[in-house]
A and B are shown apart, each in its own frame.
Chain A
């Protein structure tokens, strides 16, 4: 019996609902309403260069903060006793199970002009400060939401680093600092690259975080796309063109990341 046949229903599904829609995005990006070819929409994307720059900039900062914060956490987790590891890992991951919107909403109430942080500042005679609707709030939202995406892949590579490798390094004369930079960091490169992709991709394409924490003044690529499809400036052709550019940016990032990762260890 040919087992291959079993995949036929899925293959049809995949073509209709994964491949064709992506082709449609590309098609919409390079055609006008009456179907003639044009590069106008792609050229129009250039008008939004500032939004692209802001998106890339904010998500790079958020990714960097995630990496810096997550790396020690992942390391500490991986060196804990086995039965503590499970519990701690669950503690770190638990907020991720809350709905994304609720987590972001939590920061809305915290950062608000009459939110609890400004209230506490008020008690000691400071503020109120403008915390919400700033680019800092957007970065904070990204870090808060995507931090676990950085911890998890880092933890899973570090957990596999054999303790004897570290012992061997110190046996060969490495001090803790050089153990870190000569052994642990190089061995955790696959985790770093996949953590970076797992944080950067959702960060650069989000529209909820900027909408909820950034106010109207911190538009990101995601907002721009959303506006072309569901917002006031309905223009699916331009939206498709922006999506295409976004995909290209992500493709470049992932290719660069894969350069650093050994072939057999790409985590995603």
Chain B
């Protein structure tokens, strides 16, 4: 039974990883063939780095992701604090509206924003591009920030704030000294989540961007529409390596932190 489980697990992992490894292997292939490995080369990597469109869209992606996640973290943190202090009915109303971009299919969020932007573009003379993209990203990022912070309020002892005030803190400093440190883990994980969603987003960006501001996923999409281009393989390999490195670093840091905490006890 145990052995069977291991075999099953291995098969599923194989299913998940084989496609990625095939991409990686063929990123070093001399020819454009997708099936026969004819010889080792790094050409596709150098072509990738010299591809202006890809490099520009990579830059755009990072700028958008950084800007959107920072703005949405600020907006969302304040929002979460406010929402937490609301009465039951308005609170659930706001939280339901906040959940919309998460529950709704991405394509609906995308086209709904597109309709809004078309409406304003026609009346206010602006073009689809950086600004519309940024607004769209903030819009789908903020809910993740709020969703990450709200449980922290729930976990927090409701008397902490009162205890600080009781000990002489003004409401403002009680908030800064006691409440903020408590919700900080939620703020950080919300920020990271928003950042990765922004980096990765294709669908919403696809409907809200103009020709001036392409993000990497959109560039990838147009590349896959054209004929085979092993540069994508090279790009996939690099992204995969980066992801693996980030995850390993993250895990090591977490493990070390856990060990240190355990060591004190």
Contacts and interface: CB of A to CB of B under 8 A. Distances in A.
Interface of A: 1-11, 13-14, 16-22, 24-25, 28, 69, 72-73, 76, 86-88, 90-92, 94-95, 97-110, 112, 114-116, 118-119, 144, 147, 201-202, 204-208, 212, 222, 225-226, 229-230, 236, 239-240, 243, 246-247, 250, 254, 268
B2 to A, nearest CB: 9
Interface in B65-86: 75-76, 78-86
B15 to A, nearest CB: 7
B9 interface: yes
Contacts of B118: 236
A45 to B, nearest CB: 15
8 contacts: A17-B113, A25-B111, A73-B12, A103-B20, A106-B23, A112-B34, A230-B207, A236-B111
What range describes how many residues of B lie at the interface?
Answer: 35 or more
Interface stretch (B39-47, B93-101, B180-188): B93-101
Given A1-B171, A10-B142, A243 B224 contact: no
Binding site secondary structure of chain A:
helix
Contacts of A90: 247, 251
B58 to A, nearest CB: 12
A252 B59 CA distance: 41
A119 B112 CA distance: 44
Contacts of A2: 85
A222 B203 CA distance: 10
Given A106-B23, A109-B26, A202-B105, A97 B111 contact: no
Q: Which 6 A-B pairs have the closest CB atoms?
A: A7-B82, A205-B105, A10-B79, A119-B35, A21-B112, A106-B19
Interface in B176-234: 196, 200, 202-203, 206-207, 216-217, 220-221, 224, 228, 232-233
Given A73-B12, A102-B235, A243-B108, A9 B75 contact: yes
B122 to A, nearest CB: 12
A6 B180 CA distance: 14
B114 A108 contact: no
A91 to B, nearest CB: 6
A243 B111 contact: yes
